[in-house]
């Protein structure tokens, strides 16, 4: 059937995405049991700890009155751990750590107060938890971060082990119990700019003596330190320009398998993992090249021997390993993100749980094409192009589809080619989509990641504009019907492209940034100096903050925009959207907005997700799909 874009019926509905799709994260192995977190929009975004037993039975562990989530760094992660069947988790509503023994209700381990905990690790040698604590009880603007131990009994005793740095992560105890490895970094760095891997000796009382620097520094990013079963310390470093796996030993720090690929990720949340030990001489790992992830076995000799494992998965994260198996989150262009169990002996993959159990005919699924295009200064930028796809519909003769350019968040993040229902929602309705890995994205080496330094609001915008123009020149999309949308930092790129470039005909900002100066002054500790690299030091380069803020150049914006904003957002406060909306209305520019009670940075509730998608589609139908004679 031939029909205009935006009118196609699709089984990929807003209700499917909002109510029948869950989020999966944080795999933890405990003996033969496999645990993970499920974020459930249908339960107001509650995060539930789920367990799969060896007999393949899956059950919820935490009760409906608990939400296993943390807000350390605002983005969280590392909200729980398990040791011999006992679960330790952070509860979102009060920030306290709870202990849940089999068959018993949870009981609090930490005292009441304005504290947050993350990256929980069980120290089996001393029967205690080690974790990151964020202390908000002081009068200063920012909380105090430290590594602490928590008594797993009823004393509610919390002791500071390591302090003095701005941030900490990845506390890991050596197999013999004598050493504590951890990462630390200081402002203005983000963890992908520069971190230090340090090791402290644990004394008889369980405290720490002074720590020594193992690797890292101001311009070297270290990621995921792990002790091997035989007591050697491994980690990922971008010292060579690529995040590769290293080992620290008597011979110094040595790369195990140097290659132009990334074994690391930007550490926006805790408990990120790209490798795990099967034995002292065998690692199961994942790496990314040109936006696509691969699974591999790595022998730990020097040089290491890497063997790629044939698999259908192109997005692989959260690897955890046990005897003879690896468990990870995997997704593919035609399969939903899932908890995957890989049996090393049988060389077989098993899907344990998928984000969506709904079977969708592949005739409604658009398969992405990896593209490269020339952008500002002759640089080469990247993206994934999705043509419209719906087995029941085609566009009218001689009609090209409108294009939605998606700008990912971060901006230090990346777009992958695994199936995303939120993209298929658009392509199955007649829209084409370009998911842009603009300069600054991860997965293409440190030089590409740092090419956004000082150029945020310029290089990313150039890449989105040039990516759209590239597809217009190829004859894939209608150059008169170009849309741009993004969330958070991607929302800033969206608003900047709409303001400073005359290309797009409409846009959608999800909790996007419109005014940089107040963001630099008021945002939370983790990102409080992020803009130093992306734009320039503040207030010394206040001129750049003013010049690159869309709110200060609204007179240049002349196309329809829709805004979506959570009222509890502490990362990008609602005032950022409110001021932009007011300014556009004063210009009589078509503008729409929806503010959501109870939502923070990133929407979690089913009703929110459904309403936002439906409203955005309606907005494009009237503002873009009617531009030509569809």
Ranges 165-174, 270-279, 463-472, 579-588: which has the least confidence: 579-588
Q: Other CB atoms closer than 10 Å to residue 578's CB: what's the count?
A: 15
Nearest Cα neighbor of 482 from 51, 5, 92 is 5
pLDDT in tens, 152-188: 999 999 999 999 999 999 999 999 999 999 999 999 9
Quick one: average pLDDT of 433-451? Answer: 97
Flag whether 175 is in a domain. no
Beta bridge partners of 475: none
Residue 398: what pLDDT?
75
Flag whether 463 is in a domain. yes
What values do phi and psi take at 152, rounded to 5? Answer: -80, 0
Q: Is 19 exposed, middle or buried (0-12, 13-18, 19+ CB in 10 A)?
A: middle
pTM of the model: 0.94
Domain count, the chain: 1
Q: Is the pLDDT of residue 113 over 80?
A: yes
Q: Is 1 exposed, middle or buried (0-12, 13-18, 19+ CB in 10 A)?
A: exposed
Residue 630: what pLDDT?
40
Residue 304: what pLDDT?
79
Q: In angstroms, how far is the first alpha carbon of the chain from the final one? A: 14
CA geometry: angle 248, 201, 133, nearest 5 deg = 100
Flag whether 233 is in a domain. no
Give the Å distances, CA to CA, from 385 to 373, 467, 474, 613.
12, 10, 12, 20
Average pLDDT, the chain: 95
Quick one: average pLDDT of 229-241? Answer: 97
Task: Give the list of residues 6+ apart from residue 245 with CB closer than 8 angstroms, or none.
Answer: 234, 235, 236, 255, 256, 257, 263, 275, 283, 285, 298, 304
Give the whole-angstrom CA distance, residue 300 versus residue 226.
13
Flag whether 522 is in a domain. yes
Give the whole-angstrom CA distance, residue 245 versus residue 260.
12
Q: Is the pLDDT of residue 414 over 90?
A: yes
Residue 627: what pLDDT?
45
Residue 210: what pLDDT?
86
Quick one: average pLDDT of 335-346? Answer: 94
| pLDDT more than 70, % of the chain | 99
Flag whether 197 is in a domain. no
Confidence of residue 336 (pLDDT cuts 50, 70, 90): confident
Q: Which tokens belong to 109? A: 């381990």
Residue 356: what pLDDT?
87
509: containing domain: 362-623
Task: Give the list of residues 6+ apart from residue 246 with CB closer than 8 angstroms, or none.
Answer: 215, 234, 235, 236, 237, 239, 253, 254, 255, 256
Quick one: average pLDDT of 328-354? Answer: 95
Confidence of residue 533 (pLDDT cuts 50, 70, 90): very high
Flag whether 414 is in a domain. yes
Confidence of residue 629 (pLDDT cuts 50, 70, 90): very low
Flag whether 393 is in a domain. yes
Residue 358: what pLDDT?
86
In 80-107, which positions are buried (b, 16+ CB within 10 angstroms) versus exposed (e)? bbbbeeebbbbbbeebbbbbbeeeeebe
Nearest Cα neighbor of 523 from 138, 70, 95, 74 is 74
Task: Give the list of residues 6+ apart from residue 398 with CB closer than 8 angstroms, or none.
Answer: none
Residue 625: what pLDDT?
83
Q: Which tokens belong to 511? A: 């909790």
Looking up residue 399, the CATH number of its domain turns out to be 3.40.50.1820
pLDDT in tens, 52-89: 999 999 999 999 999 999 999 999 999 999 999 999 99
In 342-380, which positions are buried (b, 16+ CB within 10 angstroms) versus exposed (e)? bebeeeebeebbbbbeeebeeebbbebeebebebbeeee
Q: Is the peptide bond before 448 cis (omega within 30 degrees of 0)?
A: no
pLDDT in tens, 570-618: 888 899 999 999 999 999 999 999 999 999 988 989 999 999 999 999 9
Flag whether 502 is in a domain. yes
């Amino acid at each position: 059937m031939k029909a205009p874009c935006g009118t196609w019926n699709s089984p990929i509905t807003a209700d499917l995405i909002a109510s029948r799709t869950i989020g999966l994260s944080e795999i933890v192995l405990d003996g033969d049991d496999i645990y993970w977190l499920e974020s459930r929009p249908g339960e107001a975004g509650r995060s539930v700890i789920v367990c799969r037993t060896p007999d393949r039975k899956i059950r919820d562990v935490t009760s409906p009155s608990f939400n296993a989530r943390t807000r350390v760094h605002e983005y969280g992660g590392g909200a729980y751990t398990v040791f011999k069947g006992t679960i330790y988790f952070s509860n979102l509503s009060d920030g306290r750590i709870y202990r849940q023994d089999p068959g018993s209700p949870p009981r609090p381990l930490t005292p009441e107060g304005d504290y947050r905990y993350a990256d929980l690790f069980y120290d089996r040698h001393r029967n205690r938890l080690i974790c990151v604590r964020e202390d908000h009880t002081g009068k200063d603007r920012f909380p105090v971060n430290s590594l602490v131990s928590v008594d797993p009994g009823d004393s509610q005793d919390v002791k500071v082990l390591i302090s003095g740095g701005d941030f900490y992560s990845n506390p890991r105890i050596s197999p013999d119990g004598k050493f504590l490895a951890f990462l630390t970094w200081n402002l203005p760095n983000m963890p992908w700019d520069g971190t230090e891997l340090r090791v402290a000796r644990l004394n008889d009382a369980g405290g720490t003596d002074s720590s020594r620097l193992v690797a890292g520094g101001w311009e070297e990013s270290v990621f995921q330190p792990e002790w091997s079963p035989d007591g050697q310390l491994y980690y990922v470093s971008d010292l060579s320009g690529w995040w590769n796996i290293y080992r620290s030993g008597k011979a110094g720090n040595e790369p195990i398998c140097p290659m132009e690929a990334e074994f690391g990720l930007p550490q926006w949340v805790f408990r990120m993992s790209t490798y795990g030990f099967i034995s002292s001489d065998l690692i199961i790992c994942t790496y990314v090249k040109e936006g696509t992830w691969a699974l591999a076995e790595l022998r730990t000799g020097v040089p290491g021997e890497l063997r790629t494992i044939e698999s259908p998965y192109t997005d692989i994260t959260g690897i955890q390993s046990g005897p003879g198996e690896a468990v990870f989150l995997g997704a593919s262009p035609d399969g939903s993100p899932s908890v995957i169990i890989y049996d090393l002996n049988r060389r077989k993959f098993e899907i344990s749980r998928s984000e969506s159990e709904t079977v969708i005919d592949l005739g409604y699924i658009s398969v992405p094409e990896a593209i490269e295009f020339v952008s500002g200064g002759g640089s080469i930028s990247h993206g994934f192009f999705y043509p419209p796809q719906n087995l029941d519909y085609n566009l009218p003769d001689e009609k090209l589809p409108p294009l939605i350019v998606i700008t990912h968040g971060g901006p230090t993040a990346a777009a992958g080619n695994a199936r995303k229902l939120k993209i298929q929602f658009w392509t199955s309705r007649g829209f084409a989509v370009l998911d842009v890995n603009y300069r600054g994205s991860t997965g293409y080496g440190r030089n590409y990641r740092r090419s956004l330094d000082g150029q945020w609001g310029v290089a990313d915008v150039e890449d989105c504009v040039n990516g759209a123009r590239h597809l217009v020149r190829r004859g894939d999309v209608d150059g008169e019907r170009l849309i741009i949308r993004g969330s958070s930092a991607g929302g800033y790129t969206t608003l900047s492209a709409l303001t400073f470039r005359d290309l797009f005909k409409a846009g959608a900002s999800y909790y996007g940034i419109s005014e940089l100066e107040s963001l630099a002054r008021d945002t939370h500790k983790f990102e409080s100096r992020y803009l130093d690299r992306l734009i320039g030091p503040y207030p010394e380069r206040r001129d750049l903050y003013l010049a690159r803020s869309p709110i200060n150049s609204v007179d240049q914006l002349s196309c329809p925009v829709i805004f979506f904003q959570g009222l509890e957002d502490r990362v990008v406060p609602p005032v950022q959207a409110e001021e932009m909306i007011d300014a556009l209305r004063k210009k009589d520019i078509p503008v729409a907005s929806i503010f959501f009670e109870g939502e923070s940075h990133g929407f979690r509730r089913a009703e929110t997700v459904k309403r936002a998608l439906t409203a955005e589609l309606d907005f494009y139908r009237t503002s873009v799909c009617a531009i030509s004679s569809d």
